Amino acid sequence: MTADVAVELSDLLERLHVVALPMRVRFRGITTREVALIDGPAGWGEFGAFVEYEPPEAAHWLAAGLEAAYGARPDVRRDRIPINATVPAVAAAEVAGVLERFPGARTAKVKVAEPGQSLADDVARVNAVRALVPTVRVDANGGWDVDDAVAAAHALTVDGPLEYLEQPCRTVPELAEVRRRIEVPVAADESIRKADDPLHVVRCGAADIAVLKVAPLGGVRAMLAIAGQIDIPIVVSSALDSAVGIGAGLVAAGCLPDLPYACGLGTGGLFVEDVAEPVAPVDGHLPVTTVTPDPARLEALAAPPERRQWWIERIRACRPLLS
C-alpha cells in the first residue's frame, strides 16, 4: 500500500489526536471505539485500525489517514449519498429505537450470526426491521459455514426478501458455494478488504456485490482504483469510523460513476458522542462535506495518555510498511 505522501514522523505525531468514542450498543464486541486523528495541512485524516489488527493489516488504515491529512481530495460527481440504517445484533424489541437514529432511511443492514445468538434471534430481528424499513440486507461477518449460511438464507427469506447477504462465510470458495445454492445475492466484504488480492473474490465469481471500505483498502484513491477494476455493483461502507472517516467514505462514494445501492455510511448513529456535530440524514441521504472536528469534543473525548502512547507506538510499527 502507499500513502502517496512523504510525512515526517515528528510532524505526524505533533498533529495526532487519540480519542475514545463511547458507543450506544456493543458492536463488533466493543463498547468504546478508539481512533487516532491527524490534523493535516490538507484536512483531517483518521487511523482507526481495530486494536487486534497486526501492523501489516493496520498499515493500510494508516495510509488512508495520511492520504486524507496530507493529500488532495479528488473531485466528486454527487453531493449527497444514500445510506442504510445499521442495526447491531440487538433484541427484536430494541430495533425501533435503533432505527430512529436513521431518519428517512429506506434500507437497513442487519447484523446476524452473532456468537451466542441463534438463527431464531436473527429471524426475529430481521422481521422487526422489515416491519419498519422496506429494504433489508444482512451481514454475517463470515460467521457461518456453507450449510448454515444456506439454511439461514432460507429462514431469513420466509417472511420477505433480502436485498443481499453480506459475507456469509469466511473463504472465497465457501462464498462461491453459497452463491450457487441460494437465490439471495451474495456480497463480499472481508474477502475483499482482508485479502492479499482484493479482486480475487470477483474473479472467482463468488460475489454479486462488492462492499468496499476506504480505510482497510488504503485510502480513497486506492479504493477507487479497485472499484475501477470490478464489474459488479459496489457499496461503500464504514469501518466503524468516526465522523472524519465517514467523511472520507462519503467522498469515495461521491466519486463513483454509479451508485445503485445505499451505502453503509450511517454508522455515526452508533456513537453516543463523536468528534464533530452529528449530521442527521435527510430523506435517507448524507451530504458530501468536509469534516472538521470540534476542539471541545476532541478534548472531552481524548483517550488517556497511556492509550495515546499505544497508538504512537502503533504508528511507529506501521509506518515502515508504507511504500
Q: 282 and 104 in contact (C-beta within 8 Å)?
A: yes
- Structural domain of 41: 9-74+295-321
Co-location of 142 and 235 in the same domain: yes
Helix axes 55-70, 243-255, angle to 10 degrees: 80
Q: Is 98 found in the same domain as 42?
A: no
Contact 153, 112 (CB under 8 A): no
Q: Which three cell numbers stand for residue 188?
A: 463480499
Task: Please indicate, yes or no, if residue 265 is contained in any of the structural domains.
Answer: yes
Q: What is the pLDDT at residue 295?
A: 98
Are 245 and 48 in contact, with CB atoms under 8 Å apart?
yes
Cell of 125: 430481528
Position 1 in a domain: no
CATH number where 303 lies:
3.30.390.10
Residue 3 resides in a domain: no
Which residue positions form the known binding site for Mg(2+)? 139, 166, 189
3-state SS class at 58: helix
Tell me, what's the pLDDT at 26? 82
34 and 115 in a common domain? no
My answer on whether 39 and 91 are in the same domain is no
Question: Do residue 23 and residue 59 come from a single domain?
Answer: yes
**pLDDT on residue 1:** 53
- Sign of the CA dihedral 98, 106, 128, 89? negative
Q: Does 110 share its domain with 200?
A: yes
Taking the CA atoms of 248, 251, 255 and 258 in sequence, report the sign of the dihedral they define. Answer: positive
**Tens-place pLDDT, residues 86-142:** 999 999 999 999 999 898 999 999 999 999 999 999 999 999 999 999 999 999 999
Q: Within this chain, do residues 135 and 253 fall inside the same structural domain, yes or no? A: yes
111 is catalytic: yes
Flag whether 4 is in a domain: no
Q: Does the annotation mark 213 as catalytic? A: yes
pTM (2 d.p.) = 0.93
Single out the catalytic residue among 213, 221, 285, 308: 213
My answer on whether 91 and 227 are in the same domain is yes
In a domain, 197, yes or no: yes
Are 175 and 220 in a shared domain?
Answer: yes
Domain count, the chain: 2
Least Cα distance to 232 among 262, 253, 258 occurs for: 258
Regarding whether 214 and 154 lie in a shared domain, the answer is yes
Q: Could you tell me which residues come within 8 angstroms of residue 246 by beta carbon, excluding any fewer than 6 positions away?
A: 238, 265, 267, 268, 286, 291
pLDDT the model gives residue 194:
85
Residue 245, domain CATH: 3.20.20.120
In a domain, 172, yes or no: yes
DSSP secondary structure, 117-163, as one string: --HHHHHHHHHHHHTT-SEEEEE-TT-S-HHHHHHHHHHHTSSS--S
Chain centre to alpha carbon of residue 186: 17
| pLDDT on residue 84 | 96
The per-residue pLDDT for 105 is: 93
Q: Tell me: do 135 and 247 sit in the same domain.
A: yes
Q: Which residues of the chain have pLDDT under 70?
A: 1-5
pLDDT given for residue 5 in this prediction: 60
Q: Among 111, 137, 285, 314, which one carries the catalytic annotation?
A: 111
2 lies in some domain: no
One domain, residues 40 and 90: no
Output the known binding site.
Answer: 139, 166, 189
pLDDT of residue 174: 97
Instruction: Tell me whether residue 171 is in a domain.
Output: yes
Residues with Cβ within 8 Å of 221's Cβ and at least 6 positions away in sequence, in order, are 4, 67, 71, 74
265: nearest Cα among 235, 224, 293: 235
